[in-house]
Amino acid sequence: MLHLPLGPVMCDVAGHALDPAERARLTHPLVGGVILFSRNYRDPEQLAALCQDIHALRSPHLLIGVDHEGGRVQRFRTGFTVLPPMRTLGTLWDDHPQRARRLARDAGYVLAAELRAAGVDFSFAPVLDLDYGGSTVIGDRALHRNPQAVSELAHALVLGMQEAGMSAVGKHFPGHGYVAADSHVAVPVDERTLSDLEFADLLPFRQLIDLGLAGVMPAHVVYPRVDSQPAGFSHRWLSEILRGELGFEGVIFSDDLTMEGASVAGDVTARARVALAAGCDMVLVCNRPDLADQVLRHLAWPPTPMSLIRFARMHGRPHPPSRMALLESARYAAALRHIAGLGQTDTQLALDDPTAPLPSGDAGGAERV
């Protein structure tokens, strides 16, 4: 096993198992993590073997993350609990807030416990964006329009994830829910002032940070009345506001640098350099191994001691229960019983529809296989 500090680049792999080129790429000193997609999943046993293989490459082991929120952004389905869109919890909140909080914690526990049993370290969840009704890329991924509802439901989700041994990553700072444009294919522009954001979109981030949120992913959105750069490339947003004013001490993960919303920062190596200089700890390069190799060839960015400390917090709790032990767990059985039927009908209908679009989310959107 190679003993090597984690680097600032997260990349992906093509299939169900590592090939020799991927093994070489993942042992590059600049690599610190791997993001998985549905193309990397056949069944829980195969996923566990893939994660074990990735973790065995290096010490400390590479971080393994996934976009696994529920609803249309859930990478692993067959053999996993199909979770509803998070909007379902927000709808329940309107009439039964206490029940919604309890179910949010159970949903977070199930989400994280199933991933941890397979060896995945963390999910890029929860979404902290507000639902203004105009964003198709966020849409029902958002918990609610009310920032206090989002804060409380997201906190319950995070508590459930932590109970299962997983840290959380809140996204998309400082808020992607207001703009209609999709940053996978455009450069969204939000014309609101910082004051507008402080009294709305920033509130869930502020509250979750105060409660110890471990990770944040910024948006590829430009807020020109605050800074000319998209938030993920902005020193003003990441170093001055997120780190300085909000006191965030966790990992800042860039969104996927191959997205159109990142194009304003130049070629992929320039994007990585600008994002890291602005305050990101780790940058994502997804669905383009050629671009990942380009970044690894040309980027000169040794990890800082502070980033290494932050990365350690994103490792899943050691020695998670096996899948068999999880299935026999009373806590897991109770959580499944509690969330049974929560939005399941609509989700199942979507899954059964052969014309339904592929799930889209962060890290490259609808993935290419």
pLDDT tens digits along 130-159: 999 988 889 999 999 999 999 999 999 999
Single out the catalytic residue among 55, 155, 172, 184. Answer: 184
* Number of Cβ within a 10 Å radius of residue 364: 23
Distance CA 165, CA 337 (A): 21
Give 347 or 232, the one with higher predicted confidence.
232
Indicate whether 303 pLDDT > 60.
yes
Binning pLDDT at 50, 70 and 90, where does residue 261 land? low
Stronger pLDDT, 359 or 141, i.e. the higher one: 141
Residue-level pLDDT at 341: 74
**pLDDT value, residue 184:** 66
> What pLDDT sits at residue 342?
85
What's phi and psi for 12, nearest 5 deg?
A: -130, 180
Examine the pLDDT at 313 and tell me if it is beyond 60.
yes
**Contact at 8 Å (CB) between 181 and 134?**
no
Please classify residue 158 by burial: count the beta carbons closer than 10 Å to its beta carbon, then call 0-12 exposed, 13-18 middle and 19+ buried. buried
Active site residue 94: no
Q: Is the pLDDT of residue 353 over 50?
A: no
CA distance 328 to 197: 45
Q: What is the average pLDDT across 126-132?
A: 97
Domains parsed from the chain with CATH numbers: 11-347 (3.20.20.300)
- 265-292 core/surface letters (b: 16 or more CB in 10 A; e: else): beebbbbbbbbbebbbbbbbbbbbbebb
- Considering only CA atoms, give the Rg of the chain: 19
Q: What is the DSSP string of 4-46?
A: ----SEEE--SSSS--HHHHHHHTSTTEEEEEE-GGG-S-HHH
User: In terms of pLDDT, which residue wins out, 305 or 259?
Assistant: 305
Partners of 173 in beta bridges: 218
Mean pLDDT of 234-238: 98
Work out the mean pLDDT of the chain and round it to a whole number.
91
Compute the average pLDDT of residues 95-101: 96
Per-residue pLDDT tens over the stretch 75-97 = 999 999 999 999 999 999 999 99
- pLDDT confidence band for 352 (50 / 70 / 90): very low
- Could you tell me which of 77, 39, 90 has the C-alpha nearest to residue 348? 77
The residue with greater pLDDT, 313 or 363, is 313
Burial 136-146 (b: 16+ CB within 10 A, else e): ebbbbbbbbeb
Q: Is 68 a catalytic residue?
A: no
User: Residue 159, SS3?
Assistant: helix
User: Among residues 255, 256, 281, 362, which one is catalytic?
Assistant: 255
Mean pLDDT of 58-67: 98
